[in-house]
Amino acid sequence: MRILFVDDDAGIRSVARLSLERVGGHTVELCDSGHEALRTAPIFAPDLIILDVTMPYMDGTDTLRELQQMPQCADIPVFFLTANTQPQEIEKYKELGVLDVIAKPFDPMTLPDIINKLLGVHRTSEEKPVDEQLKKLQEEYAGQIPGKIQQIKIIWEELTQGEWNRESFKNMHLIAHSLSGSGKTFGFHALSEAARNLELLLKQNSESDVLPAAGQREQINKMLNALENIIINPVQKVHPKKEDGLIALPGEHLQKHLRRTIFLLEEDTKAAHDLALQIGYFGYNVCNFSGVKEIQDALTHSSPSAIIADIMSLKDTDAGIKAIKEIKQASEIEMPIIFISANDDFDSRLQAVSAGGSAYFTQPVDVSTMVDKLDTLTSPGISEIYRILIIDDEPELAEYHALILKTAGMTTSIITVPEKIMEQVIEFRPDLVLMDVYMPRCNGMELAKVIRQKETFVSIPIVFLSSETDIDKQLKAMSLGGDDFLTKPIQAEHLVSAVTSRVERARILRSFMIHDSLTGLLTHTRIKEQMDIEVARAERQKSKLAFALIDIDHFKQVNDTYGHPTGDRVIKGLSRLLKQRLRKIDIIGRYGGEEFAVILADTDGHKAVETLDNIRNDFAQIHHRCGNDNFSSTFSCGIASYPVYRYPSELNEAADKALYKAKHKGRNRIVLAD
Last-in-domain residue among 513, 533, 564: 513
**Is the domain of 503 the same as that of 553?**
no
Least confident of 141-145, 304-308, 547-551: 141-145
**Is the domain of 299 the same as that of 425?**
no
Least confident of 173-182, 354-363, 368-377: 173-182
The pLDDT value given to residue 334: 62
Name which residue leads in pLDDT, 627 or 468.
627
- Mean pLDDT computed over 134-159: 77
Q: What percent of the chain has pLDDT over 70?
A: 83
Torsion, CA 78, CA 82, CA 85, CA 90, rounded to 10: -30
The pLDDT value given to residue 126: 40
The pLDDT value given to residue 320: 57
Least confident of 145-149, 544-548, 636-640: 145-149
CB atoms within 10 A of CB 585: 14
Q: Do the beta carbons of residue 406 and residue 21 sit within 8 Å?
A: yes
Least confident of 76-90, 283-297, 301-315, 539-553: 301-315
Name which residue leads in pLDDT, 474 or 585.
585
The pLDDT value given to residue 636: 95
Per mean pLDDT, which of 221-235, 267-281, 462-476 is the most reliable?
267-281
The pLDDT value given to residue 247: 27
Last-in-domain residue among 310, 345, 378: 378
Q: Is 246 exposed, middle or buried (0-12, 13-18, 19+ CB in 10 A)?
A: buried
The pLDDT value given to residue 158: 85
Res 234 pLDDT > 80: no
Res 51 pLDDT > 90: yes
Res 111 pLDDT > 90: no
Q: What is the CATH number of the domain that holds 447?
A: 3.40.50.2300
Asked if residue 310 belongs to a domain, the reply is yes
- Mean pLDDT computed over 534-550: 88
**Is the domain of 581 the same as that of 500?**
no
**Is the domain of 339 the same as that of 354?**
yes
CB atoms within 10 A of CB 338: 21
229-to-33, 62, 181, 226 alpha-carbon distances in Å: 31, 37, 19, 5
Q: What is the CATH number of the domain that holds 167?
A: 1.20.120.160
- Mean pLDDT computed over 221-238: 62
pLDDT band at 373 (very low <50, low <70, confident <90, very high): confident
**Is the domain of 665 the same as that of 577?**
yes
The verdict on pTM exceeding 0.75 is: no
Q: Do the beta carbons of residue 562 and residue 570 sit within 8 Å?
A: no
Last-in-domain residue among 513, 543, 573: 513
The pLDDT value given to residue 137: 57
- What three-state secondary structure class fits 545? strand
Asked if residue 230 belongs to a domain, the reply is yes
pLDDT band at 252 (very low <50, low <70, confident <90, very high): very low
pLDDT band at 130 (very low <50, low <70, confident <90, very high): very low
- Mean pLDDT computed over 221-247: 53
Name which residue leads in pLDDT, 122 or 168.
168
The pLDDT value given to residue 288: 82
pLDDT band at 670 (very low <50, low <70, confident <90, very high): very high
Asked if residue 124 belongs to a domain, the reply is no
Asked if residue 126 belongs to a domain, the reply is no
Res 538 pLDDT > 50: yes
**How far is 534 from 544, CA to CA, in rounded Å?**
10
Name which residue leads in pLDDT, 260 or 661.
661
Res 128 pLDDT > 50: no
Beta strands in 115-187 (DSSP E): none
**Is the domain of 232 the same as that of 306?**
no
* Each residue's pLDDT tens digit, 289-343: 877 777 777 776 666 778 888 876 654 556 656 667 766 666 555 678 898 888 8
* Each residue's pLDDT tens digit, 22-37: 777 788 888 988 888 8
pLDDT band at 138 (very low <50, low <70, confident <90, very high): low
**Is the domain of 395 the same as that of 501?**
yes
- What three-state secondary structure class fits 667? coil
Asked if residue 125 belongs to a domain, the reply is no
Mean of the per-residue pLDDT values of the chain: 79
Res 447 pLDDT > 50: yes
The pLDDT value given to residue 313: 60
Asked if residue 147 belongs to a domain, the reply is yes
Res 549 pLDDT > 90: yes
Res 617 pLDDT > 50: yes
Q: If you count DSSP H runs as helices and E runs as strands, how many of each does the chain have, helices first?
A: 26, 22
**Is the domain of 360 the same as that of 401?**
no
pLDDT band at 127 (very low <50, low <70, confident <90, very high): very low
Taking the mean position of all CA atoms in its chain, how far away is CA 521? 16
Res 232 pLDDT > 50: no
Beta strands in 57-111 (DSSP E): 78-82, 100-103
Q: Do the beta carbons of residue 79 and residue 100 sit within 8 Å?
A: yes
The pLDDT value given to residue 123: 39
Asked if residue 479 belongs to a domain, the reply is yes
Domain count, the chain: 5
Angle at 197 between CA 204 and CA 217, to 5 degrees: 55
The pLDDT value given to residue 185: 56
Q: Which domain holds residue 16?
A: 2-119
Res 517 pLDDT > 70: yes
- Mean pLDDT computed over 351-364: 84
pLDDT band at 6 (very low <50, low <70, confident <90, very high): very high
The pLDDT value given to residue 112: 86
Name which residue leads in pLDDT, 246 or 302.
302
Q: Do the beta carbons of residue 533 and residue 599 sit within 8 Å?
A: no
Asked if residue 656 belongs to a domain, the reply is yes
| Rg value, the chain, Cα | 27
* Each residue's pLDDT tens digit, 167-204: 888 778 777 876 775 666 566 778 878 888 888 888 77
Q: Which helix (H) or strand (E) holds 555?
A: helix 555-562
Angle at 312 between CA 309 and CA 315, to 5 degrees: 120
**Is the domain of 398 the same as that of 468?**
yes
**Is the domain of 561 the same as that of 424?**
no
**Is the domain of 76 the same as that of 159?**
no
Q: What are phi and psi of 136, to 5 degrees?
A: -65, -45
| Residues facing 101 on adjacent strands | 80
Name which residue leads in pLDDT, 137 or 211.
211
**Is the domain of 202 the same as that of 142?**
yes
Name which residue leads in pLDDT, 123 or 380.
380
Give catalytic residues, as residue numbers.
594
